[in-house]
Amino acid sequence: MYVRGAALLGCMALLAACGGSETGASGAPPAAAGVPVTTSVVAATSWNDSLQGLGTAKARESVTLTAKVSETVDRVHFDSGDEVQAGQVLITLSGNQQQATLQSAEASARDADRQYIRGNELVQAQLISRASVDTLRANRDTTRARVAEMRANIGDRTIRAPFAGVLGLRQVSPGALVTPGTSIATLDDIGMVFVDFQLPETQLARVSVGQRLFGRIAAFPGRDFDGEVQTIDARIDPQSRAVTVRGIFANADRTLRPGMLVQVRLQQQARQALMIPEIAVIQVGRDTFVYRVREDETVEQAPVAIGVRAEGMAEITEGLEPGQRIVVDGTGKLRPGMRITEGSVQEAKSQPADEAPAAGAGGAQ
């Protein structure tokens, strides 16, 4: 019995030693299991490049209304924020003296016209000379010009909207004295707005009139405003080496206001590109590479050249071909020649350290 018990204990010790050698002292899985990573197959996709710029919104037409003469305000025909039509009367200034002068000028003009008509009758009867008729004609023309001058003077006392648009804050009240240069209100045509933004001169070949634009403002995050390139400046700024581009945006709902900061994105024509997740790209010094998966499920470093980067994606211009498989997530644990397994990297990271030895012990049983 003693011999059999000793033999049994020896066998159990041998089995325990074998199990410990498989799982290892740290309880780590065997190297043949591979490093869990997430992979992706490289494929050509349709990609739209975009150029970015910052600009300020401007009204298509904008003016500060002022008076041409010094006079007191008789009546105000608008309120702040009104939409007005071209030619609509906005301010009427006092003009009693000018009205009286106009009536006097009109009376003089009528009298001069009657004298000229009578002079023509007399010259035909050879009662006066032709020179006298010429004098009467000149007098008639002078009085008519005087009437036109007075009417223009009175017209300057009526301020009208030069174009249709939206009025800003009213700055005057009835009875106020206005002079040339006194601000009455602002008038902006914002049915369409301009946005001027700058791009580097190196991108000039990628911009053309009529290209589609998208604009975003801080007041409405996530909303894109559609526009297009209207004009490209004829000159390059010699200091910044940038060209100014003017975009025009429809603004029927009056959302865009003059002075707003607009982030402009200029859409380029769609093209085919090898786009991969940017997290798959590894930068070490001046070297840029990705981990490419070989047929035997081991990895190798593949030097690549990067094109554009946008929205978490990177363009590969050299180093990869469509159909090749690369490691996207889990590159931090990899070295050339290591074996991988397709799995959830996050689950592998969150697995408790004491679970691996328990699994190994269960396998030994």
Average pLDDT of 231-249? 92
Please answer whether residues 68 and 360 qualify as being in contact, where contact means their C-beta atoms are separated by less than 8 angstroms.
no
- The fold adopted by the segment(s) 31-47+272-351 is 2.40.420
Q: Give the global pTM.
A: 0.56
Res. 25: pLDDT tops 90? no
Res. 362: pLDDT tops 80? no
Res. 28: pLDDT tops 50? no
The angle formed by the CA atoms of residues 120, 150 and 93, to the nearest 5 degrees, is 160
pLDDT band at 108 (very low <50, low <70, confident <90, very high): confident
Average pLDDT of 185-195? 93
Structural domain spans, the chain:
31-47+272-351, 52-60+190-270, 95-156
Q: List pLDDT tens digits, range 40-95.
A: 999 998 887 778 899 999 999 999 999 888 888 889 999 999 999 999 999 988 86
The whole-number pLDDT of residue 100 equals 67
The whole-number pLDDT of residue 5 equals 45
Residue identified by tokens 């996709």 is: 45
The CATH number of domain 95-156, selected from 1.10.10.60, 3.90.1010.10, 1.10.3720.10, 1.10.287.470: 1.10.287.470
Q: List pLDDT tens digits, range 290-323.
A: 999 999 999 999 999 998 887 788 989 999 999 9
CATH code for the part of the protein at 52-60+190-270: 2.40.30.170
Res. 23: pLDDT tops 50? no
Lowest mean pLDDT among 45-54, 68-77, 211-220, 249-258: 45-54
Average pLDDT of 325-335? 90
The whole-number pLDDT of residue 99 equals 67
Task: For the chain, give the percent of residues with pLDDT over 70.
Answer: 82
The whole-number pLDDT of residue 61 equals 92
Distance CA 234, CA 223 (A): 31
